Structure formats: C-alpha cells, structure tokens
Amino acid sequence: MALLEVEDLHTYYGNIHALKGISLTVEEGEIVTLIGTNGAGKTTTLNTISRLLTPRQGTVRLEGQDLSHVPAHRLVTMGIVQVPEGRRVFARLTVEENLRMGAFTIKDKAVIDEGIERGYTMFPRLKERSKQVSGTLSGGEQQMLAMARALMAKPRLLLLDEPSMGLAPTLVEFIFETITSIHAEGVSILLVEQNALQALAVASRGYVLQTGKVLMADTAAALAANEDVRRAYLGEI
Amino acid sequence: MTAVTAPPPTVAPIASARDLWLSVAIRTGLIAGATALYLCLTGIVPTFDSRPLIRDVITLGQVALVVAFMAAGLGTAIRLGTQASPGRTVLGGTVAGLIAGAMLSALVLLGSVVDLRAMFLHASPALWNVLTFEMGTSGFWVPAAVGAVLGGLAAAIWLLPGALRMSLLAGLAMVLVMGLFAGLLRAPMLSGPLSGLARQLFAAEGLQPIGALLSFAAGAILVPLFRPSRIRARAQRLSREQRRVTAVPLGGVLLLLVLLLPLGLGPFVAQVVALIALYVLMGLGLNITLGLAGLLDLGFVAFFAVGAYTVGLLTSTGEYGIAQWSFWAAVPVAVVIAMLFGVVLGLPLLGMRGDYLAIATLGFGEIIRILAGSDLLKPWLGGPRGITNIPKPLDVGPDSFLAGPNQIYYIALACAAVIAFVAWRLRASRLGRAWIAIREDEDVAEALGVNLVQTKILAYMLGAAFAGLGGAIFASLYGSVFPSSIQLLVSINVVAIIIVGGMGSIPGVVVGAIVLIGLPELFREFSEYRFLFYGAVLILMMRFRPEGLIPSRIGRQEMHHDAAEDDPLTATAAVEPS
C-alpha cells in the first residue's frame, strides 16, 4: 500500500477549477516531484493534500486511511508536514521559538530539545542565530529554518513547496543536498519545484502537471530524458 | 539669456547651495504659518488668551503662537544643520518666522476687509486683537514682526553650544509644563503646610512671575543633569553585577512611589490616577489578544459593559440591584460571564482576519451598548438611567485614606500586576507561541498542528475576561453604570494605548495610559480642545515613532530590520553552505 495516495482531486478557487482530477502516489521512502509551469496546479495540489484547501471531489489517503474528515492541524500527528512556498517563518518569533512551534504537537520536552539539536547540527547557521528574531534572517537562512521547523515534528511525509525559490545558486545546491540527506534518514518527500532539472536529479519519480491535470507520469530519469519535457520545462530548445 | 554655451558643471551645485537656506526657511515657515493659522481659526488662540501661563506676562493663547514661531526658527536651523553659515542660519530662522507671522498678518488684513465669520467662527475682532496686541486691524504688521524676531531668536538659540542650548530649551519647556499644570499642583498644596509657598509660586490660573523664574531655573539645571541619554550611558558603564545590585533598590523606590502616589493627591487627581490604573489593566488584557494573537478586537467595550453591568446588578443597593452581594463575590461572576460572552461572540468571528474582524467586533460593541440603553431591557438594566448606588469594594469610613478612588487605585494596580505577570509568563509559553504563530501566519500555524478554533477562542476568552474585570472595577469606581459609559471610545482608547505605548510591551502600556488617558483628564480645563491634543499625539506618534514610546524587544528589532539586511554577515551571498 502506498504511503500517500491521491485520487481524482478536484479543487476550486471560487468558480475557478484549479485541479481537474489529479491522481498520484508516493511510496514509502520515495522522493516524488511535481513539475510544471506557473499555474499548473503544483502548489494547489500540495495545499489540498495538507488540507489548507478543501477539495470538492476526490480523496487523499495516508496508508489507506481517508483524510477527508481529518482537520488540517491533526495531519502533523499523522506524519504529514508541509514546508510552504515562500518559507513563511514566523517573523516575530526567534529561530529557537520557530523550531519549538514545529514541535507543537510533541509534549515531551526531551524529544523537543533533541529535535532542536538535530536541526542545529543539520544547519549550524541556525545555531548561531538561535536567539535572533527570524524576520531578520536572510532568505537562505529562512529556508533552512522552514525545513528544520518541519522536521521537528518527525514527519513520515514531507511536502516541500519550491524550496529553492529566490535563492542564490550556491544555496540552491545546498538545499538540494539537504533534501537528499533528509531522504536518507527515511523521510518520504513530495517535492514541488520550478527548478525541474535539479528536482528530477534527486527524485525517483515525477509527475508533469499542466492546467490542473497530470500530463505525464514516469520515473525521474525517463522524464529528464523525454524530448517534450526537456523542451517545455528544462529550458532546452 | 538663453544658454548658447553650456555653463561649467560646478556652477549649478554652488548656486543651489547658496539658495538652500532660503528654500528651507520658506518651506519651514509655510508649515509653521499653516499650523499657526490652524491654531487661530480653530479657536485655540482666542479661547486660551483668557488663560494666563504667567500672570500678567503671557497667556496660553500667545504661547501657542510663540511656540509656532520659534518652531519655525528651530526647524529651519535643525534642517540646515552645518550646511549653512551661522549668519545664514539666523537669517533663515528670521525669514521662516517672518513668513509664518506674515501669514497671520495676511489673515488680519483679510479679516479687516471681509467678514470671515460665516466660515470661521473664531475669525473675529477678538482674534485680531490677540494677534496685534490690542491694536486692532491697523496693527496687522505685528504678527510678522514678532514672528521674524522669535524665529531669528530660536535659530540663534540652536547655534549656542550644546549644553547651554539644552538648558535654555529645557528651562522654557519646564515653564510651559509648570504653567499648564499649575492648577493641579496648587490645589493640594493649598490645603497643606505648603499653602504659603503655593501662593508665591502659582496664581489663581497659571504661574506667578517668580514661579516662572524658578521653574525656568529648575528646568535649566535639572534636565541636563538627569537627561536619559546620560543616565543610560552611566548605566552601560556598570558591570552586569553592579547593574543587578542597583536595579533592586531602584525598583523598590519606584514601587514605593507607585504605592504612595495617592497620598499627596486631591480627590480629582486621585480619580484620574485610578482611571489610569484601570486602563493599564485593560491595556495589558488587550495586549494579550492584540499583541500576541493579533486579533484586533474593537468590541472590547462589549465585555467591559458585561462586567460593569454584572457587578452593578449584583451589588447595587439601589432600584435595580438584585442580590446586593459584595464586590468581591460579584467580580468572579462578572469575569466568568464576560468570558462566556467572549466565547459566544468569538465563535462566529473565527474565519475572519484583520480589518474584517475589527469591523465585526465593532458591531458587537454597538449592539451591547444599544441593548443596554434599550426599552426592551429597561425593566432589568434601567435603560438610559443606568444602575446607580453601586457600593465601593471596601467598606471604610468617609474620612479614611482608602475611601473613594484610592482603594480602586490599589485594586486596579494589584489586578494589573497579576495580568502583567500572566502576560509575561504566557509570552514564553507554548500557548503564547501558538498565538504569535497564528498572528503571523494562520495557514502555517495550522499546518504545524495548531488547533485554530481552540487557540483563537482561548484568546477571545482571556481578552474578554480582562475587559470584564476592567468593567467591574469601573462600575465600582464611579458607583454607577450608564449606557453612555460604554462608548466605542473605550475600545479605541485601549487599542490606542497599546499602539502608542508599544505593542507587546508592558511598560509601554503604562506610559500609553498616562499619555492618552491621564493627560486628557488632567487638561479638563481645555474642554474639547484636549481631544485635539489626543489626535495630534496619535498622528505624530504614528509618523515619527511607529514602534511606540517604549517598544518591546521584538518591536525594536523589527524597526531595525533594514539595518540587519544590510549587514553583510546576514546577506544571502555570505551564507556558507556546509
């Protein structure tokens, strides 16, 4: 049974039909990427899975359990955590407080402190800034914080939305290395990226989305080799 | 002359530097003149011409004009800084003052030809006489001359060496403050052993000339000695250990002052101080909903009303009292009922954010006010006549020190201390973090496992509880509750206190309450004009110090956000991926 199973998802913004029947799966231990142009429905898909948006039709199942009636704030305890687009750290909280927010559902103090230490080991930069209000961090540091915060809840499935957006090239490299090492610790990842080339390089499978539908689904290697994909999304003419 | 050959490139900057002082002077003068016109035509100058600042020397109305003229000169000098020679600076100040004065001269001239009273009630011969020292419209040149002299003088003062300048300005400011508060200081002194001194220093209204001289001297000497930057510099030289050792007795002295404050006050000021303490309490309460959870609750007054009416009904010995309980038994009930209202009113608001929430809560405040005064509830709440005969919490004799507003002061103070403690503990708690997270980004907070419904309802309940407590104390402070005492202004005052004081800052709330509640009450003699002051404070604060008078640590850091981004250490490019 797949870890995440999305079936025929239809999501609307008012009258606008944003997702027109998206289906996808993420197996335990996989990195799966969603690529596509702006407005293809990548972020909407993630937000619908994490229940920030309510689908009008279709189901999301975690290990076979239907999530339709699970409130968004309960998903964390079930193992799904989202790193939203644009980082969205809590600007008025310090770095450490942001991490504690990530462990909001965990009551055990020792586990929380251990999680914070783990985050600092992964991103030493954050340790230096632990008492700093996170609104004053640079974009790269905020992305690190957003990822470390999401890991605090010990997710089984991480939903990553555009983690490399707006970052300097060296940092993009670093973020993708981090994604690989998070994956190596046994976390399954559903990754949304504009940067299709690098996303396909770390992922095992990918879905190409266009105007709210799945255009193609294949292994990452096959997608990266596909002529149409290369022309449309990898910037080759 | 048409420019056939291009002028050398150096000519233009020199020319503009030469004209700089003039353009600055003209701009500053126009602003000061507009302000002076405003002061005249709104009636501030003519009305307060009957209120002396220093007896037989200068009236408040004249002071307003003097301040406007001097501000023109000072403003010019400050904006010019070191960019102009001393002579130019003084000349600039004179021109600025002249322009400001000339605008008033023009007003007098215009008034001598056209009757402006159809539009401006205060544009009357009385105003012309104030402006021209009783010379009527033929003395139209007087304001311009006075303006030029004062503007030049003020600019010259700015050129004085730092210490002297500070002393002079501090002395003048002290005269102004003492003159404004003369009545308040005089009344309690007259009844005590200091009555002789009081008569020497203060006139029936304003200062005696000798009092003015002493005030000037006191300001000129004391303010430079105790100015904040100097004290802060001293404090920074102390070691951490020394600072801790000095903080304890300093805190003790401060606490003692706060506790002993009602001792030296007349009944009127005691009432004002109790009101300030009450608003501190409510400000701290709203600080939790607004400052932490970011829920802009303009229906604060609704819960305030619930608390006030509950205590009124339960304790009143008059017509509408139903139980004649003691205050102490009624307060917990009032707080619990206010909390229930908080939940009931909070539930429909859950999906709303920001401005929408503010408008919706505004509606609740109005509903409660109208219900309280309605015929429908008149048999129980007394309609517009309200509930009277609400006893004071402590049953002490009429001569006791604790009779009247003083006991309310202490009760409000004790409650405020408890709330401050709760607020401080909450800030560092899991719930406090969840509130800030919701305020920052509801979606992300929810995605991290925060139950929005539960967390928001808790914030409403807590805010309502504090508002209810405030209302309960209010009812027993005044001994009565009327629908007219639950105005929207109560909500707005509490919000303004937090914003002016500094969002999320506990000392900020105290200072905000003193400035926005205390000062307007103390300036009662200026009747409706004190709300002009209130409005002016709000506008100036938002323009020049948006983080509040005493901002919290986070507020300060946010204001220095730009500086941090410029710091090369935090810039994106400098981050070393490892």
Query: Are the beta carbons of A95 and A130 closer than 8 angstroms?
Result: yes
pLDDT at B86: 86
pLDDT at A124: 93
User: How many cross-chain Cβ pairs, A to B, lie less than 8 Å apart?
Assistant: 108
ipTM field = 0.87
pLDDT at A237: 53
What pairs with residue B207 in β-bridges?
Answer: B54, B202
pLDDT tens, per residue, chain B with 578 residues: 444 444 444 444 444 556 788 888 999 999 999 999 988 888 888 888 888 888 888 888 888 899 999 999 999 998 888 888 888 889 999 999 999 999 999 999 988 888 888 888 888 888 888 888 888 788 889 999 999 999 999 999 888 888 888 888 889 988 988 888 887 778 777 777 778 888 888 887 888 888 889 989 988 888 877 777 777 777 777 777 777 777 788 888 888 888 887 776 777 778 888 888 889 888 888 888 887 888 888 888 999 999 999 999 999 888 887 888 888 999 999 999 999 998 988 888 877 777 888 888 888 888 888 888 888 888 888 888 888 888 888 877 777 777 778 888 888 889 888 888 888 888 889 999 999 899 888 889 988 999 988 998 998 898 899 999 999 999 988 888 998 888 888 888 898 898 888 877 888 888 899 888 888 887 777 767 777 778 888 888 888 888 888 877 666 655 554 444 433 333 333 333 33
Helix (H/G/I), strand (E/B), else coil: B276: helix
What's the 3-state SS for A139-176?
Answer: HHHHHHHHHHHHHHCCCCEEEEECCCCCCCHHHHHHHH
Q: Which amino acid is at A155?
A: P
Rounded to the nearest angstrom, the gap between the alpha carbon of residue B31 and the centroid of all alpha carbons in its chain is 23
Residue in B431, B575, B576, B578 to test binding to A, most A beta-carbons within 10 Å: B575
The three-point CA angle B70-B71-B75 to 5° equals 120
Residue in A51, A87, A90, A171 to test binding to B, most B beta-carbons within 10 Å: A90
**Backbone dihedral region for residue A2 (phi beyond 0: left; psi -120 to 50: alpha; all else: beta):** beta
Tokens of B45: 């100058």
Name every chain B residue with its beta carbon within 8 A of the beta carbon of A124: 578
pLDDT at B567: 38
CB burial string A175-185: b at 16+ within 10 A, e below: bbebbeebbee
A174 touching chain B per CB within 8 A: yes
Query: Are the beta carbons of B445 and B452 closer than 8 angstroms?
Result: yes
Of A82, A93, A140, the CB nearest to B447: A82
The three-point CA angle B271-B277-B282 to 5° equals 125
Of A101, A136, A141, the CB nearest to B437: A101
Of B433, B446, B578, the CB nearest to A100: B433
pLDDT at B43: 83
Task: Give the confidence band of A89 by pLDDT, cuts at 50, 70, 90.
Answer: very high
pLDDT at B248: 82
Query: Tokens 């309940």 appear where?
Result: B461
pLDDT at A113: 94
Of A104, A133, A135, the CB nearest to B449: A104
Rounded Cα–Cα distance for residues B212 and B80 (Å) = 32
Burial class, B396, CB count within 10 angstroms (exposed 0-12 / middle 13-18 / buried 19+): middle
Asked if the model's pLDDT at residue A173 lies above 60, the reply is yes
- What pTM, to 2 d.p., does this model score? 0.75
User: Residues B315, B317, B323, B326: is their CA dihedral positive or negative?
Assistant: positive
pLDDT at B163: 82
Name every chain A residue with its beta carbon within 8 A of the beta carbon of B576: 125
User: Residues B83, B88, B94, B95: is their CA dihedral positive or negative?
Assistant: negative
User: Residues B54, B56, B60, B66: is their CA dihedral positive or negative?
Assistant: negative
Helices B506-513 and B267-286: crossing angle, nearest 10°?
140
Burial class, B258, CB count within 10 angstroms (exposed 0-12 / middle 13-18 / buried 19+): middle
Residues 75-134 of A with CB under 8 A from B: 75-77, 81-82, 84, 88, 90-93, 97, 100-102, 104-105, 124-125, 133
Instruction: Report DSSP state, residue B291.
Output: I
* CA–CA min distance A222, chain B (Å): 30
State chain A's mean pLDDT as an integer: 91
Asked if the model's pLDDT at residue A157 lies above 60, the reply is yes
pLDDT tens digits, residue range A97-122? Answer: 999 999 999 989 999 999 999 999 99
User: Residues B538, B540, B545, B551: is their CA dihedral positive or negative?
Assistant: negative
A72 touching chain B per CB within 8 A: yes
